[in-house]
Amino acid sequence: MARKGTILNMGKVQREMSAAWKARKDAKATATPDDKAPPTREEANNLAERAAVAVFGPAVLNPAPDAAAKPAGKRGKDAKAPAPTATKGSKSAKPAAKQKAAREAKPKPAKSAREKKPKRVSALDAAAQVLAASEVPMRAKEMIAEMEAKGLWRSPGGKTPEATLYAAIIREIAAKGTAARFKKHERGVFVAGKAN
């Protein structure tokens, strides 16, 4: 096919495109009407009915009288699925009341009384405790070492816990202002704030 966009080839491009359109139009005209005509509503209903009978059995065509008497509506959170109905050759189904009673009669296993574990102290809380006990300003790296030495907090395996602690301290100072537990002494060095 010729390249589009050049003035010299424009006539050739137009001829090729019109030939392609004619070929498509001829192909559509020769197609049989049965191939492209959708089924009527009645045919579609018959097909759906046959498929339902094949999958669920003939009981689908003749629903139980109690199911037909109920008004059709949206099922919400509180709506329960209808109880299964007995069909020919199948075992009789339990009535809904008996099923509900059977569910309520089952005793639930008692939860064992567990001892509550003490709440883990966060790195920020441990740093606040370390700074409150310290009389000198500290860097984040020094706070991490002190927290581990006192057993207040231990890094879960991070490569740079001091960077995480530093960022958390800066966030708290920015969010709480003068009410923060930390106060910036100089760049990278902190002291206990007025909240401690």
Q: How many CA atoms lie within 13 A of 186 on its CB side?
A: 3
Of 128, 135, 140, the closest CA to residue 182 belongs to 128
Of 89, 96, 91, 86, the closest CA to residue 65 belongs to 86
Q: Are 128 and 181 spatial neighbours (Cβ–Cβ below 8 Å)?
A: yes
- What single-letter amino acid sits at 9? N
Domain presence at residue 134: yes
Domain presence at residue 91: no
CA distances in angstroms from 10 to 3, 18, 99, listed in the order given: 9, 12, 79
Domain presence at residue 31: no
pLDDT at 77: 52
Those residues of the chain that have pLDDT short of 70 are: 1-9, 31-36, 60, 63-113, 196
First vs last Cα of the chain: how many Å apart? 81
Domain presence at residue 47: no
Where in the sequence is the domain holding 182, given as residue range(s)? 123-192
Q: Are strands 138-139 and 182-186 parallel, antiparallel or unpaired?
A: unpaired
Task: Say whether pTM exceeds 0.85.
Answer: no
The single residue listed with the structure tokens 């057993």 is: 151
Q: Are 56 and 48 spatial neighbours (Cβ–Cβ below 8 Å)?
A: no
What does the DSSP 8-state code read for residue 111? P
Q: Are 170 and 180 spatial neighbours (Cβ–Cβ below 8 Å)?
A: no
For the stretch 91-120, pLDDT in tens is 555 566 666 666 666 666 666 667 777 788
Q: Which residues contact 112 (CB under 8 A, 6 or more apart)?
A: none
pLDDT at 109: 65
Domain presence at residue 157: yes
Domain presence at residue 150: yes
* Separation of alpha carbons 185 and 166, rounded Å: 13
Q: How many domains does the chain have?
A: 1
Domain presence at residue 66: no
Domain presence at residue 44: no
Of 141, 127, 121, 120, the closest CA to residue 169 belongs to 127
